[in-house]
Amino acid sequence: MGPALIRGSLFQLHSLLGLAAGLVLVVLGVTGALYSFQLELLELLNPPPTAAAPDRRPLTLPEVRQRLLAPGQELGFVSSMAGEGYGLLGLAPASGQGRGEVLLFDRYTGEVLKAPRGQAFFRLVLDLHRSLALGPVGKALTGAATLILLVLCLSGLYLRWPRQAGRWRIWLTLDWARRGRSFHWDLHAVAGTWCLLVYLLAALTGLYWSYDWYR
């Protein structure tokens, strides 16, 4: 099998996999971006509970543990924004559960906000991100899409590799003299190059949540 045939076959595989997984990857990307800004968006939807007065300080991590965790509960994570009134606390999941409860709390008093606006939305966002809200079937689909993203990154890099690979302009800039299909190919290739490291990081970390054998 010659190089031209290998390249042609890889191009077809790259295209088919992109079409097959494209919609799922869009959903994962949008929901992942939304969930990354969960605390900021919750703070917009829920007025800060306490003004950050100069003589007050937010609770330390040991104080958060003492005030918010019940006996036997374990802390999963704590996230907060300096200077704002809220923090997010994630409880470690109980045995057999996929995830623990997430609480929105006052960083100065430790008071937990009951049923904050937007929390149900972010539960749905996380469910969509992890399993397309389809349970085990959706989890299998998102796992497969993550594997496909890794294959797309590697195959795209191979197909993108220019003859003069040492010239950075070929990798990172568009050839505005191209027209039609040639320009579209160049646009796809350059955009993919700019996003390659982000896509690889997303795929390699996403596999951790998808497959036990990868952990």
- Per residue in 82-130, pLDDT (tens digit) is 456 788 888 887 665 566 778 888 888 888 888 788 888 998 999 999 9
Q: Is 123 part of any domain?
A: no
Q: What is the DSSP string of the chain?
A: --HHHHHHHHHHHHHHHHHHHHHHHHHHHHHHHHHHTHHHHHHHHS--SS---TT--PPPHHHHHHHHPPTT--EEEEEE-TTSSEEEEEEPPPTT-S---EEEEETTT-PBPSS-TTHHHHHHHHHHHHHTTSHHHHHHHHHHHHHHHHHHHHHHHHHH--TTTT-HHHHHS--TT--HHHHHHHHHHHHHHHHHHHHHHHHHHHHHHH-GGG-
Q: Is 42 part of any domain?
A: no
Domain that holds residue 14: 3-36+128-214
Average pLDDT in the 23-48 region? 89
Look at 175 and 144; give whichever has higher pLDDT: 144
Do residues 208 and 140 share a domain? yes
Q: Is 121 part of any domain?
A: no
Residue-level pLDDT at 46: 80
Write out pLDDT tens, residues 55-92.
678 888 888 888 888 888 888 888 775 456 788 888 88
Cβ(80)–Cβ(49) below 8 Å: no
Do residues 143 and 197 share a domain? yes
CA distances for 123 relative to 131, 132, 164, 183, 198, angstroms: 12, 12, 48, 41, 25
Average pLDDT in the 148-152 region? 96
Q: Is 177 part of any domain?
A: yes
Do residues 28 and 71 share a domain? no
Residue-level pLDDT at 95: 65
How many domains, the chain? 2
Q: Which domain-ending residue is among 92, 115, 138?
A: 115
pTM above 0.75, yes or no: yes
